[in-house]
């Protein structure tokens, strides 16, 4: 029997639940020469701010056992380049779900960026990043307080006609409280989790490996914690969740779906292996057959 890999996000049908996470797949164009992008369920584009950003000083990547640290600092060409150049170029190659990941340093900037992105016909979902741990004074500051996260959500929903997913930080005491605040403020969905705050020290120089000192820790090591948070939030909220954090295999995807995710983002594994998403998608039908699963809908436990 042919396996049904399709899933749904806010009325949008995806051919499968596998989505490269923001910041690990560029704008899709960078990997278009490696494989057919149309096998992907969706693509979450590189995080975008109002103005072009160079990002943090180097070094800004550090290896860790079962993961990596990054302090890229939202390097991006700006919102106007996203809608006038990047998305139109991607749409020439890709017909699946395009998710614009939007960042900001103020509620006004989030609102402005989302208003611009919302008008772009090639964008299907707005993913509002209130969870970046790599930018001083912005991003995660909004994602660690329920009232601040709700304020961003309300401002964005006031200008958006497309589904709004709020991407949450795991660097909080109670992620359910943040999730509920976003849901009550009108969020159509949630993405969780972003990276954990971490650091490495070079014992020879006695200085942090990253120029910024600390950065976001991602990779396979965080999967059990991310899975727990997806489970908690999906059972506490009624809006769909995109699960993210340490996903590296077809089995991980099924776990995320069983925990309550409606779709699953693959992050750091793309950096380790650019063919990670195609390999996961290819492996899903066989694993489903082994487990007696015919379709991926309604796997939530």
Catalytic residues: 132
Compute the radius of gyration of the chain from its Cα atoms. 18
Phi, psi angles (nearest 5°) of residue 77: -85, 0
Closest to 111 (Cα-Cα) out of 41, 182, 164, 69: 164
Q: CA 45, CA 191: separation in Å to the nearest integer?
A: 14
Longest CA span, the chain: 59
CB 220 within 8 A of CB 248: yes
Give the pair of three-digit tokens for residue 275: 């063919």
Three-state DSSP class for residue 31:
helix
Which candidate, 152, 166, 144, places its Cα nearest to that of 108?
152
Under a CB-based contact definition with an 8 Å cutoff, are residues 41 and 16 in contact? Answer: yes
Q: Contacts by 171-175 with C-beta closer than 8 Å and gap 24+?
A: 171/131, 171/133, 171/140, 171/143, 171/144, 171/196, 171/197, 172/143, 172/144, 175/229, 175/232, 175/233
Residue 199 structure tokens? 């650091």
């Amino acid at each position: 029997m042919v396996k049904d890999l399709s899933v749904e996000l806010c009325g949008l049908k995806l051919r499968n639940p596998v989505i490269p996470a923001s910041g690990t797949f560029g704008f899709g164009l960078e990997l278009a020469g490696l494989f057919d992008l149309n096998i992907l369920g969706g693509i979450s584009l590189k995080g975008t701010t109002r103005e072009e950003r160079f990002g943090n000083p180097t070094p800004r990547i550090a290896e860790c056992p079962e993961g990596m640290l990054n302090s890229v600092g939202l390097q991006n060409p700006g919102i106007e380049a996203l809608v006038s150049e990047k998305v139109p170029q991607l749409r020439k190659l890709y017909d699946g779900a395009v998710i614009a990941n939007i960042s900001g340093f103020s509620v006004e900037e989030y609102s402005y960026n989302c208003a611009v992105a919302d008008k772009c016909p090639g964008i299907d979902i707005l993913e509002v990043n209130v969870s970046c741990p790599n930018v001083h004074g912005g991003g995660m500051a909004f994602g660690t307080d329920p009232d601040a996260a709700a304020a961003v959500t309300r401002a964005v929903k006031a200008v958006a006609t497309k589904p709004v997913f709020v991407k949450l930080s795991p660097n909080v005491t109670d992620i359910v409280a943040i999730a509920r605040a976003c849901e009550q403020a009108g969020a159509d969905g949630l993405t969780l989790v972003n990276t954990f705050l971490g650091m490495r020290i070079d014992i020879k120089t006695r200085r942090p490996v990253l120029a910024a000192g600390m950065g976001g820790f991602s990779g396979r090591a965080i999967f059990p914690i991310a899975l727990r948070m997806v489970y908690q939030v999906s059972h506490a909220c009624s809006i769909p969740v995109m699960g993210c954090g340490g996903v590296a295999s077809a089995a991980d995807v099924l776990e995320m779906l069983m925990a309550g995710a409606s779709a699953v983002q693959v992050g750091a594994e793309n950096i380790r292996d650019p063919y990670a998403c195609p390999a996961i998608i290819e492996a899903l039908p066989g694993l489903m057959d082994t487990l007696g699963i015919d379709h991926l809908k309604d796997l939530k436990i």
